Structure 1
Amino acid sequence: MSEKPPISNEPSGEQSLPDEIWERFVRDTEQDIAASAPKEPSARDRMAASRPRGGRDDSRGADRGRRSGEPEGWRTGPAWQEMNGRAGRRRRMWGVLGIFVATGVLLVALNPSRALSLVTGDDASDGTATAQLPPETAAPTAAPSFYDPDRPTLKEPFRGSPAAQYADGAAGIEAPEATALGGLSKERVAAGLAATRTLLIESNLAPATLRGERPDTALGLIDPLEKDVLDALTTGLTKPDRDHDPLTLFSRFDTRKVKPVGSVVKTRGRMTFDKASDGGVVVHADYTFVYPLVKAAPGSTEVARTIVRRVLDVELADPAHKQATAGKLWIVRYDVDTANSACGVHDGYLHPEFADETPTGPSPSGSAIDPYDRSRALSPDRPEGCGLISRS
């Protein structure tokens, strides 16, 4: 295009263009063509085009590409393939995450305690996951609901039991606020309530008593003038038999055969007081104690729970109406209902029954009773014998 066209030999009335004008026309034309021709982007431009721009409008980048002369879709194939690959991986990742979330929701719905143990790393669900019940202020109207059927373990001895919501040991024995009553001052009533609480603790929770040792502190709280009761208890502690059974007032285990699991005994109940018919005050106590135990043999892992419910009435006598020793308790009534302990054995110890043992003594009979049902009254004239229990 830089060459001059040949001069025509044909005659014409028009004069030919001067050489300087023609050269200028050629230069301008070549510059325009060079400016409008497509250009392959540089390596830097290609890297910038494939780099994601967070938070920016993609349409602006497209406009810039078109204004620079880059054709739409210029070398964009590999970048789109890479983006499609990342999107596919993200979809697979969210799909797997969704499966895990759905599985977790199902596990929580079916077994909350197990789900919590997986999260915390503990093989436990009750003590951590179960809220303690408020103090019992009146007789319940029904038995507690049945819990997760999981078996107790050495780490979780109260798993699957209503006792998981009971208080620990002496914390579950609370004396009510004292008032003056029956001719006794408020201070005298308060002292009697405190002594009753100590008697319950020393009879059912003190480690020495549970090991089968002589409960001297508990015996020392009983009025020495009540000789018949003290004589029966003393005989039962030294030479137990059917008619002299220390288990009517004390919880004791044979350490040669069983040992406690941990140091916690679960406790649930209430204490009330009222005016006695002949002056003074009668304190009424109704408590359930749950003992987790394992065989004393090395390597034993099966946990058995023995449940003991005690009803105890003691009198704070008014010296003006009854001869009594100041500061001592006069026992009016004591009763016991025991579950998951060998029936018909009168050796002065509670004997929890394990699944791998052959039951001893008479076979249980009658309708099954829930030992955690504190709405059930312990009638003094209830039939004797070995009964069935619905759970332990």
Structure 2
Amino acid sequence: MNTLSKALELTHVSDEDPKIPDDVWEQFARDTERDIRGSAPKEPSARAREVTERLRRQEARGELPDGWRTGPAWQQKKSRRGLWGVLGVAVAVVVAVVAVKPSLVPGDLFGGGTSDEAASSPLPAETAAPTAAPSAEASEIPTLDDPFAGSPAKRWADGAAGIVIPKAKAVGGQSAAKVGQALELTKKLLIESNLKPATLRGEQPTAALALLDPKQDDVLDRLKTGLRKPDRDHDPLFMFSRFDPEEVRLVGDVVKTRGRITFKAGEHASVAVHADYTFVYPVVRTDGTTEVTRTIVRRVLEVELPDPAKYQVTPGRLTVLRYDESAGNTSCDVHDGFLHPEFPSSEPTDGPSTGPTRDPYDRSEDIGRIEDCGTVTRV
């Protein structure tokens, strides 16, 4: 009966609610009266009276089995019949009220969910290259409490959870264990370069650099020079996401992440790994204001784990073949080693944009064709 009471309480109609139409009540009254008449006791027939009298005499002589008429089965049957009668009336009341005002019933009766719930549910991991940009979101202003409001990244995974590596299997003469090692090292490099709080605060990305082969002098020299004395040709932003801690700070501790990792046999008795990821950083100024904006960084990284028995490489270190990046909503032509987000209330600190308009969330476009210094359509 507790469930029934709850159901009736949920469908209570207040005095301010619209009245149930007279024709609904009249139909309900007629149906109820018919059911009562049908279930009311009737005058037994002569045959029924004769059988009853015979059973009474047998019962008086002790000829009927124990439990007849008073046994548990008969009592349960009678009890169920009475309960279903009460439930039937209660359900009829509920149905009549809901038919008049369905909004009185909370939630989704049929479990189908709403379009709003579907729009806010997390996206499954990306398993193939997208063919179009994400759909436009409702125009919402990001806040300290909801820094991803109005962004398609709101449905993306949080941080490292979005870097999902595929199941390792042997390829090109390299064992599944070797493939797994290459995938794990690549994931760690992505995390250390784009998600580690110290790296984002502009500190030295020591752990990330330690994953790279020290025998690959050209790559390490370029990155280390950029970290020490950045310029146009030596910019640490080529591989690392960094913000000036005196200018902005991250809102919360969540960076939204979306992308995919694939692998194949490399050209140097190796496992070659390809990673294509977009990171969305919500930031606020450090001057005490609360205006929130976002910078979107997409990276494409290609690395190898060559066989040290055949090539002069350091075991367990990655050889970098390619690293490309494209940043949306950051000052153009500023090469000081930091990303500089632009806020809606401020004028750009650099000159006018010279590149084309583009959507920084569009992962279907080849990153090699994206021009710098463009105007982003959304942040």
Q: Same fold (TM over 0.5)?
A: yes
SS in 2 for 1:309: strand
Cα distance in 2 for residues equivalent to 1:278 and 1:152: 47
Cα distance in 2 for residues equivalent to 1:244 and 1:363: 24
Deviations, residues 74-133 of structure 1 (Å, cap 9, x unaligned): xxxxxxxxxxxxxxxxxxxx9xx98x99xxxxxxxxx987xx9xxxxxxxxxxx971111
Q: Which residue of 2 aligns with 1:8?
A: none
Cα distance in 1 for residues equivalent to 2:224 and 2:270: 27
Q: Which AA in structure 1 matches 2:267?
A: S
Q: Contact between 2:230 and 2:336, CA under 8 Å: does it hold in 1? A: yes
Q: Which AA in structure 1 matches 2:146?
A: E
1:310 and 2:329 equivalent?
no
**What's the offset of the Cα at 1:383?**
6.8
Output aligned runs, 1:184-203, within 5 Å.
184-203=174-193
SS in 2 for 1:198: helix
Output aligned runs, 1:1-392, within 5 Å.
130-298=120-288, 300-379=289-368, 382=369, 384-392=371-379
Q: Which AA in structure 1 matches 2:156?
A: Y
Deviations, residues 241-268 of structure 1 (Å, cap 9, x unaligned): 1111000000001111111111100000
Unaligned runs of 5+ in 1: 1-54, 58-93, 102-110, 117-127
Cα distance in 2 for residues equivalent to 1:264 and 1:226: 33
Cα distance in 2 for residues equivalent to 1:259 and 1:174: 27
Q: Contact between 2:303 and 2:319, CA under 8 Å: does it hold in 1? A: yes
Cα distance in 2 for residues equivalent to 1:296 and 1:224: 37
Deviations, residues 264-294 of structure 1 (Å, cap 9, x unaligned): 0000000000111342111000000000000
Runs (4+) of structure 1 exceeding 3 A deviation are: 382-385
Q: Say which one has the larger Rg.
A: 1
The two structures, once aligned, show a CA RMSD in angstroms of 2.3
Q: Contact between 1:221 and 1:328, CA under 8 Å: does it hold in 2? A: yes
Q: Which AA in structure 1 matches 2:121?
A: A
Q: Contact between 1:307 and 1:340, CA under 8 Å: does it hold in 2? A: yes
Cα distance in 1 for residues equivalent to 2:310 and 2:365: 34
Cα distance in 2 for residues equivalent to 1:383 and 1:389: 12
- Work out the percentage of aligned pairs sharing the same amino acid: 56
Cα distance in 2 for residues equivalent to 1:138 and 1:363: 36
Unaligned runs of 5+ in 2: 1-28, 34-96, 105-113
Deviations, residues 200-238 of structure 1 (Å, cap 9, x unaligned): 000000000001100111000000101111111111111
Residues paired across the two proteins, number: 274
Cα distance in 2 for residues equivalent to 1:181 and 1:268: 26
Q: Which AA in structure 2 matches 1:343?
A: C
Q: Which AA in structure 2 matches 1:373?
A: D
Q: Which residue of 2 aligns with 1:90?
A: none
Q: Structure 1 residues 336, 369: CA separation in 2 closer, same or farther (over 3 Å shift)?
A: same
SS in 2 for 1:343: coil
Q: Contact between 1:288 and 1:310, CA under 8 Å: does it hold in 2? A: yes
SS in 2 for 1:135: coil
Q: Contact between 1:181 and 1:280, CA under 8 Å: does it hold in 2? A: no
SS in 2 for 1:247: helix
**What's the offset of the Cα at 1:332?**
0.4
Q: Could you state the TM-score of these two structures normalised by the residue count of structure 1?
A: 0.66
